[in-house]
Amino acid sequence: MATYAQVQIKSTYNKFSKVVSQRGYSGGQLARYILDDRRMREVTIESIPGELSDHYDPRSKTLRLSQGVINSNSIAALGIVAHEIGHAIQDEKSYAPLKIRNSIVPVANLGSGLAFPLFFVGLFAGMPIFMDIGILLFALAAVFSIVTLPVEFNASKLAIKILADGRYLTAKELPLAKQVLSAAALTYVAATTMAILNLVRLLILRGSRD
């Protein structure tokens, strides 16, 4: 499922990165227009390397856009920009799921890196305590994935509203931007599903050792 989701987002992004917006805004221009219109001038914009590496950093109030997005006037680029600004709006409004997600990032990162090694050390060494710690750490990583879903869905909803209300995209272009954001959302659904399934597998293995 994760592979399918990645293929889907890449395919959709590549398709609509070739469709130029009628308004002609680049991703960087659109970002600044929207932020200024919402009086969010404290949010800075940075260009970063990579593809689909775009993100909003709530710690520094920075919107980081990949070069293929910040310089592009495609439907795909503008949809991504609006989505990331959606996260900035969530931060401004202290959106609860975002606050929860941000608060557990360090623990979730630790959990995703250590959970499996600890669990299998415990499994093969016959040390249940290590298995339990591994399960606990992975459960925290799974919670992070679950909390991410409403954060991402809400950011996409905000993105479409921003693009429609500001008339940054035409009525015919909005459904195309929705396709890009829906494909991106699928990757988060896939990640969450895999996290839950892996947690279940660990619990079954742990139960078999009792």
List pLDDT tens digits, range 69-84: 999 999 999 999 999 9
Share the mean pLDDT of the chain: 92
Rounded average pLDDT over 109-138: 90
pLDDT at 6 over 80: no
Provide the residue type at 63 as one letter.
Answer: L
pLDDT at 5 over 70: no
User: Could you say which of 42, 84, 152, 173 is catalytic?
Assistant: 84
User: C-alpha distances in angstroms, 100 versus 72, 84, 94?
Assistant: 33, 18, 10
Helices (H), the chain: 2-16, 27-37, 67-70, 75-92, 96-125, 128-165, 174-208
pLDDT at 7 over 90: no
Give pLDDT, residue 9: 77
Give pLDDT, residue 20: 93
Number of domains comprising the chain: 1
pLDDT at 27 over 80: yes
Placement of tokens 């469709």 in the chain: 19
Give pLDDT, residue 109: 82
Give pLDDT, residue 61: 96
**β-bridge mates for residue 57, sequence order:** 62
- Distance of alpha carbon 151 from the chain centroid: 8
Instruction: Clarify whether 173 is annotated catalytic.
Output: no
Confidence grade of residue 160 (pLDDT, cut at 50, 70, 90): very high
**β-bridge mates for residue 47, sequence order:** 65
The residue range of the domain holding 114 is 2-208
Rounded average pLDDT over 105-128: 87
